Structure 1
Amino acid sequence: MYKKQLVYFLAVFLCGISAKAQVFEVGAIAGGAGYLGDLNQNRPLKISGMSAGAFVKVNIDPYWAVGLHYNYGKIKADDTKSTNEHFRSRGLNFNTALNEVSLQVDFNFFEYFAGGGTKNFSPYIFTGIGGVLYNPTARYHNVAGLEDRKYYLRDYYTEGQNVPYRNYAITIPYGVGVKVKLKENWGLFSQIGYRTAHTDYLDDVSGLYPGATHWDNEPNPMINKLLSNPSNPTSTDFQYTQRGDFRKRDTYMFVGIGISYTFVSQKCYTF
């Protein structure tokens, strides 16, 4: 008899652990993307393109969740449209797609998740680690010497690099949001999250203008000069001067609204 009771209590205990461990959540989000860097130095809420993403999470308990996330976004900036006179005279632009995969941890301030919990909503914060792929391009419509087409900037060594910079980087996501429980296991959420990328080349701008004769051995050096300094490609006044700002990390942002569905497994053995 005692053996049966022991087996019963063990089964109940394991069932509870299993139920908690099998609270899986899937979701999708859409919204906008922004960027803070050498071509946009002080407008952290400026949205320059769209974003979309999806995730799968494990809700460890009503407060903590761990998830695998994929996000796609587009960011861009154009000096000629800036309110800053120095930027307009510099004349650079860029456009890049971002493909990000990250592992993130959520913390809910209230006891919440769509498949259970005592609250119907909760603010939350998140952080994690991930990686991002990028490849900045530029297009110049009215610059003599440049065709009206897309240029992949890392191929032109615009700051005199000996080899192209990497088109991938480690990224640190962090942000805030709010979750709202809908009917049954459905949830609605909205969030804003920034990413500190371990690169300063999301926009192809980081260091100094190279020397005026740096590309003289290239087959068509004027293209390199124009992409490096479209406003003053032949001037020696800019060589070895700062091309962007002094920060060594670019930042990008995703903001959006999403929906999720939580699968709650309550299957247990019976005796």
Structure 2
Amino acid sequence: MKIKKLYILLFITGIYATSFAQSWGVHKYELYYGLGGTNLMSDVGSPNDPSKLAWVRIFNTVGAYGNAGLRYNIKPKQYVSANLALGQLYAEDPVEDPDFYTLGRKANSFFTEITLRYEYQIIKEKKKRTVYKILGENRLKNFNIPTYLFIGAGGLLSVGKYSQIDGAYVPSVNYFNFAPVIPYGIGFKTRLTNLSYLNVEVGLRFPLSDKLDNLAQGTHGLLSSDQYQFVTVNYIKKLKSNKKGLPRLKRR
């Protein structure tokens, strides 16, 4: 009888120890970093047609940036992340194009953006099948791209240089350095190794300001506030949790 009780005690202890180990050893955290491009849709470089809701001109509205962040898996299909982005927001009036409103202005700013985001996975990654299960099956049938949507809140701090295209100085009369911002968009991931992914993300930013370009025209209806977009390519690395539930950054 005593031996039976001992076995039961050892069995319960084993279950508890296993569940405890799994709770802090799993890969709930993801570290990511990458590079991309920005597109600034503001009054500088905007089209004459106020009904046009989006525009991209490579030499007039596009800049470069980099970002890094930490993502945490709170529930199946649900994540939260903290993101830091540094880069350039650029806009220049295309004076040679009659379809674009122009004052001959140029806006070039360096920005720092910090955001917190909620992410929901709309297409979940399929579990890897063994070679025996995929023999005789169409490989495209087992192919999928994990996809997620995100929305959040944060702030944008930018330091800008504003001038006429001919180089004449334009005082920063209307310019505010800080603006609250709402990020939203879509992302795609594909597995590289068991613990890493390649990530492509298309994100839109809605700042609560119409003065990022030192000009407050508000000529585009719902887009009366300046807006900008990110297209990013990230490398993602899954991290284990330590006994306190925090990400373990160093290998042992």
> Do residues 56 (structure 1) and 70 (structure 2) align?
yes
- List 4+ stretches of structure 1 deviating above 6 A: none
Q: Quick check: 25-34 or 40-49, which moved more?
A: 40-49
Q: Find the partner of 1:70 among 68, 81, 84.
A: 84
Structure 1 residues 110 and 244: CA distance shift in structure 2, 3 A: closer
Structure 2 partner of 1:169: 179
State the SS of the aligned residue for 1:135.
strand
TM-score for the superposition, normalised by structure 2? 0.72
Kept in 1, the 8 Å contact 2:196–2:238? The answer is: yes
The structure-2 alpha-carbon separation of the partners of 1:80 and 1:181, relative to structure 1 and needing over 3 Å to count, comes to: closer
Equivalence for 1:189: 199
Residue deviations 1:27-50, cap 9 Å, x none? 111111011121225434445111
Give the alignment's TM-score, normalised by structure 1.
Answer: 0.67
1:86 Cα deviation after fit: 6.2
Deviation at 1:266, TM superposition (A): 8.7
**Alpha-carbon shift at residue 130 of structure 1 (Å):** 0.9
How many residue pairs match? The answer is: 212
**Local SS of the residue matching 2:101:** helix
RMSD: 2.8
Mark the runs of 5 or more structure 1 residues left unpaired by the alignment.
Answer: 159-164, 208-242
Q: Deviations over 1:190-236 (max 9, x none)?
A: 011000001111111115xxxxxxxxxxxxxxxxxxxxxxxxxxxxx
Residue 236 of structure 2 corresponds to residue 260 of structure 1:
yes
**Of 211, 219, 244, which residue of structure 2 is paired with 1:201?**
211
Equivalent position SS for 2:210: coil
Write out aligned runs for 1:13-92 (5 A).
13-20=19-26, 23-39=28-44, 40=46, 42=52, 43-47=54-58, 48-81=62-95, 83-84=97-98, 87-88=101-102, 90-92=103-105
Identity among equivalent positions (%) equals 23
Q: Give the corresponding residue for 2:127.
A: 118
Distance 1:8 1:185, change over 3 A: same
Tell me if structure 1 keeps the 8 A contact 2:95–2:104.
no
Q: Secondary structure at the match of 2:23?
A: helix
Cα deviation code 1:106-151 (max 9, x no counterpart): 2222334xxxx726730111111111111332233637xx36xxx5
Distance in 2, matches of 1:52 and 1:7, equals 48
C-alpha contact (below 8 Å) 2:92/2:107 kept by paired residues: yes
Inter-partner Cα distance in structure 2 for 1:33 and 1:23: 30
Letter of the 1:104 partner, please give it: R
Instruction: State the shift of 1:244 in Å.
Output: 5.2
- Given residue 190 of structure 2, which amino acid in structure 1 is its aligned partner? V
The reply on whether 1:11 has 2:35 as its aligned counterpart is no
8 Å contact kept, 1:206–1:245: no
For the Cα contact (< 8 Å) 1:33–1:254, is it kept in 2? yes
- Contact 2:202 2:231 (C-alpha < 8 Å) held by counterparts: yes
Q: 2:219, 2:152 → 1: CA distance? A: 28
Partner SS, residue 75 of structure 1? strand
2:110 aligned to 97, 102, 106, which one? 97
Shift of 1:24: 1.6
